[in-house]
Chain A
Amino acid sequence: MQKLYSNKWVILSLVAPGLLTFIFAILAPICLSFYYGLTDFSGLGNATYVGLENYKNLMSDAAFWTALRNSILLAFGFILIQHPLAIITAAILDKLQGKAEGFFRCVYFIPNVISVAIIAYLWKFIYNPNFGLLNNILKIFGYNKEVNWLGSGMAIWSVLVVLIWHGFGWGMLIYYTGIKNIDPVLYEAAAIDGANTRTVFMKITLPLMKPVIQVNVTLAIIAALKQMETVYLLTNGGPGNETQFLANYLYKQAFSSFKYGYGNAISVVFIVICLVITVALNKMFQEKEVK
């Protein structure tokens, strides 16, 4: 067996599918994107080289900056709202034990199992100002104004709620697994020393969860940047471009406005932003580990 794995051809053959997939499905398209980003290609016919024109336009494109701002807003929403809640819920679940534990674990994970299309339409109906669930609930409490949840000013917050709610179960499940992996001996020792629940959570659970938190935060930020489907189906970036996100804006430019070249320029900037953030995050976490 050892001999088998030291054979270069074997190594190559085992790596080949992955490597080829990477080259043809990721690297080559990125290079193509970079090329098309320098042209005014409409998706049909011929492309003309226009240099950095697309990138210049991008810098003065208000919608692009709104999209970027929204992505960052979502990342903060994930880190500051979704994840603290997910950790606490995971810790409580861990304490529940027995049937209740399994039941609630399932319940919290359900939104992740449902198709994004259904989630988006579900919330569209909940938010509908004329017959939506939310306004009807408000009516019961005597608030009779028809709140336009996806209207100008409100829309981005309503969208954030959906996204944070939707990704919650996934984050919680990872934290839950992390908590389950903590050695129970530590808790016993703490109990003997007379530590209360809060101290146990702050001094044992949280510190030991650090690697899990790091992974989850990285995943959350990438998910925030990549956000597309839910927004596309829920508001498609509207009203105006208020709830625009990078990936959705890219799609809109390339496929609705037939500005394929411009769309590619956005995608190149998008890749750069993602890379920078991932590298920065890795650096940040590494330094902490060294300390």
Chain B
Amino acid sequence: MKKKILSVLVALTVVASLTACSSKKAENSDNNNQKNPSTTTIKVFSNQTDRKTGQGLIEQTLFDNYMKENPNVKIEVEALDDEAYKTKFKAYASGNSLPDLVNAWGQPSFLNEVIDAGILAELNKDDYKDYGFIDGSLEGFSKDGKLYGLPRNTDVMAFYYNKAIFKKNGWEVPKTYADLITLAGKIKAKGLIPCSMDGSDKWPLSIFMNDLVAKLEGDYKTEYRKSIESGDFSNPSYKKAAELLQEAVKAGLFQSGFETSDYGTSLNLFANGQAAMYYMGSWEMSMATNPDVIPEVRDNIGVFMMPVVDGGKGKVTDIAAWNGGGYAVTANSKVKDEAIKLLNYMFKQDNWSKLAWENGVCMSAQDYSAYLTGKETAPQKAFTDIVTGSTSITGVTFNDLGTSEFKSLSEDLSQMLAIGSIKPDEFIKNLEEATK
């Protein structure tokens, strides 16, 4: 008797230890089946963690509307911040279990490896003919003539500035880079931080330099790609841009410890009125409506572009802009067609583009001129003018044009250059090596 009980116990232990992992999954699928057999569940993996403001709100609103219009569709969202998102994206991809609709970046550093691995579904280009996507905005999501995703926004890098502080002290928007450096000294003398910089994430520093190359070379879009492909950064403008960045740091343009200030900290320096300027992308235009930003700042946000450099060929209207974040559908999704339908719905006229604009969140990658009301916030107006008046755009910046390894190496280099631990010469040399 004892023996029998024993063997039963033994068997139970082994079975329990073997099935410990799989039992949860089985439960889940049972639940789903019981609820509603005809419901289609679309799983979405998003990098918009804040579902109540900004782009996350727009995304969620569109999902909610879609579910209302299609009661048999259920949308489940999983959201993580950028870095965590990228890590989990990879874990999902290697386990072949990516959600159906995913956030993606239309940049070679992210997209190339993903497309090569055959993870994303090809979209039908002709579907989007009358979606009003602006010229070239689908380029980032295309490879070898095939389209793999849709961009959310047009991103422009600019200086936000506090108009009230500028007015009070009689400062003017700098016309040249030299003016900017002089201005930095004046602002510092007043005990304020001239320009808040997110240096711990590194990419803003890379973009800063790319912005300078645009001011030195003018329309240089195709040349960046060539430099990355050939590993040739011998054009003196690259070195010059590196020198100019170091010059700015030496002059104290950025807050002390900028290399350790993360996104939130640097944003807050400006949002709390401690910094007079803030170098960041157009997606932060929603500061003008964000209740967390103090009113003295919120109502006084101005925008200016990287000023021209003496002797440079570029104009102030040669801007650093690109179409970055967006969406793609996974190739082996069980509800691929449904997911593509949802994606198309999001970017149909009067959806993403209109909502994003009306809420002052960002500029979509589509033609949004129909939604202009004249009641926009100051940064919204400024960015619209900047984009419509631009003479050239950089496209995806150089740090995002290579492999993901190049991205990480080149951004590390930008940071090391900025804190002066390498010289411009070494920066160029190491950059060339990183392309190999």
User: How many Å lie between the Cα of A44 and that of B87 in the bound state?
Assistant: 12
Q: Are A257 and B269 in contact (CB under 8 A)?
A: no
User: How many Å lie between the Cα of A235 and that of B6 in the bound state?
Assistant: 54
User: Nearest chain B CB to A129's CB is how many angstroms away?
Assistant: 4
Chain B residues positioned under 8 Å from A7 (CB to CB): 6
| CB-based nearest B residue for A129 | B257
Q: Are B405 and A257 in contact (CB under 8 A)?
A: yes
User: How many Å lie between the Cα of A235 and that of B9 in the bound state?
Assistant: 50
CB 8 Å contact bits of A7-47 with B (1 = contact, 0 = none): 10110111011001000000000000000000000111100
Q: A12, A148, A239, A252: which has the most chain B beta carbons within 10 Å? A: A239
Q: Which residues, 6 to 28 on B, are CB-close (under 8 Å) to A?
A: 6-7, 9-10, 13-14, 17-18
Residue B1 is within 8 A (CB to CB) of chain A in the complex: no
Residue B94 is within 8 A (CB to CB) of chain A in the complex: yes
Q: B114, B403, B405: which has the most chain A beta carbons within 10 Å? A: B405
Residue B40 is within 8 A (CB to CB) of chain A in the complex: no
User: Nearest chain A CB to B9's CB is how many angstroms away?
Assistant: 7
Beyond A45-B117, A256-B408, whether A13 also contacts B269 by CB under 8 A is no
| CB-based nearest B residue for A259 | B405
Beyond A151-B260, A258-B403, whether A240 also contacts B421 by CB under 8 A is yes
Q: Which residues, 215 to 269 on A, are CB-close (under 8 Å) to B?
A: 235-236, 238-241, 252, 255-259
User: How many Å lie between the Cα of A199 and that of B144 in the bound state?
Assistant: 80
Chain B residues positioned under 8 Å from A16 (CB to CB): 13-14, 17
Neighbour of A44 across the interface among B83, B93, B409, CB < 8 A: B93
Beyond A44-B94, A151-B260, A240-B416, whether A256 also contacts B17 by CB under 8 A is no
Chain B residues positioned under 8 Å from A155 (CB to CB): 260
Beyond A45-B116, A45-B117, A256-B83, whether A130 also contacts B255 by CB under 8 A is yes
Residue B42 is within 8 A (CB to CB) of chain A in the complex: no
Q: Are B17 and A20 in contact (CB under 8 A)?
A: yes
User: How many Å lie between the Cα of A124 and that of B257 in the bound state?
Assistant: 11
Chain B residues positioned under 8 Å from A258 (CB to CB): 90, 113, 403-405
User: Nearest chain B CB to A145's CB is how many angstroms away?
Assistant: 9
Beyond A43-B90, A255-B90, A258-B90, whether A148 also contacts B113 by CB under 8 A is no
Q: Can you give 28 contacting A-B residue pairs, CB < 8 Å?
A: A4-B2, A4-B6, A10-B6, A12-B10, A13-B14, A17-B17, A20-B17, A42-B113, A45-B117, A129-B255, A130-B193, A130-B255, A130-B274, A146-B257, A150-B260, A151-B257, A152-B420, A152-B421, A238-B415, A239-B260, A239-B421, A240-B412, A240-B419, A252-B408, A256-B404, A257-B409, A258-B90, A259-B405
Q: 8 closest Cβ contacts across the A-B interface? A: A129-B257, A45-B117, A44-B117, A13-B10, A150-B260, A258-B404, A257-B408, A17-B17
Residues of chain A having any CB pair with chain B under 8 Å? 4, 7, 9-10, 12-14, 16-17, 20, 42-45, 124, 127-131, 146, 148-152, 155, 235-236, 238-241, 252, 255-259
Residues of chain B having any CB pair with chain A under 8 Å? 2, 6-7, 9-10, 13-14, 17-18, 83, 86-87, 90, 93-94, 113-114, 116-119, 193, 200, 255-257, 259-261, 265, 269, 274, 403-405, 407-409, 412, 415-416, 419-421
